[in-house]
Amino acid sequence: MEFFWYGLFTSLCVLVILAGWRFLRVRATGCGILLRRLPAVGVHGWRHGALRYSGDGLEFYKLRSVSPSADLRFPRTGAVVTQRREPTVAERAFMPAGVRIIELTVLDDRYEIALDGHGETALTSWIESAPSARQERRFRPLDR
């Protein structure tokens, strides 16, 4: 029975350390957002979290997760902003004031992301500045 309590205490300590590390790491470098996968009905499916830009992709970290890695990853070249809208009356009840909702298509998946004005500008410019997936870079050997 003593080993059970030691194991439980150790597991709890590891969980608290992971949660604290993730909270400090993501909160310091991420942009707070709400995200849901489409199709969705009504106000269901919204998840609070943080969005981080990392090189060639976006990383979404759920608020209520202790995993050290991102919960969702979106490739930069496959992401397209397809629509923008204002929150509905029901969505305004749990969303901060001043957010807009962007529909993001990533390869074959569709998502809605609720961002403030700065986050929307950052996301849009980050996606639009990505090199085209069709772009081919050809290098010629130097002539001697």
Over residues 29-63, the pLDDT tens digits come to 778 899 999 998 889 999 998 898 877 888 998 88
Is residue 139 domain-resident? no
Is residue 136 domain-resident? no
CA atoms of 121 and 7, how far apart (whole Å): 47
Cβ atoms 76, 92 nearer than 8 A: no
pLDDT > 70 fraction of the chain, expressed in percent and rounded: 88
Number of domains into which the chain is organized = 1
The pTM of the full predicted model, rounded to 2 decimals, is 0.76
Q: Which helix (H) or strand (E) holds 73?
A: strand 72-75
Is residue 66 domain-resident? yes
Is residue 65 domain-resident? yes
CATH number for the domain spanning 64: value is: 2.30.29.30
Is residue 30 domain-resident? yes
Is residue 141 domain-resident? no
CA atoms of 64 and 42, how far apart (whole Å): 22
Is residue 144 domain-resident? no
Is residue 104 domain-resident? yes
* Containing structural domain, residue 44: 2-128
Q: What is the pLDDT of residues 58-89, one digit of tens each?
A: 899 888 877 778 889 988 888 889 999 999 99
CA atoms of 63 and 34, how far apart (whole Å): 10
CA atoms of 126 and 80, how far apart (whole Å): 11
Structure tokens at 20: 């604290």
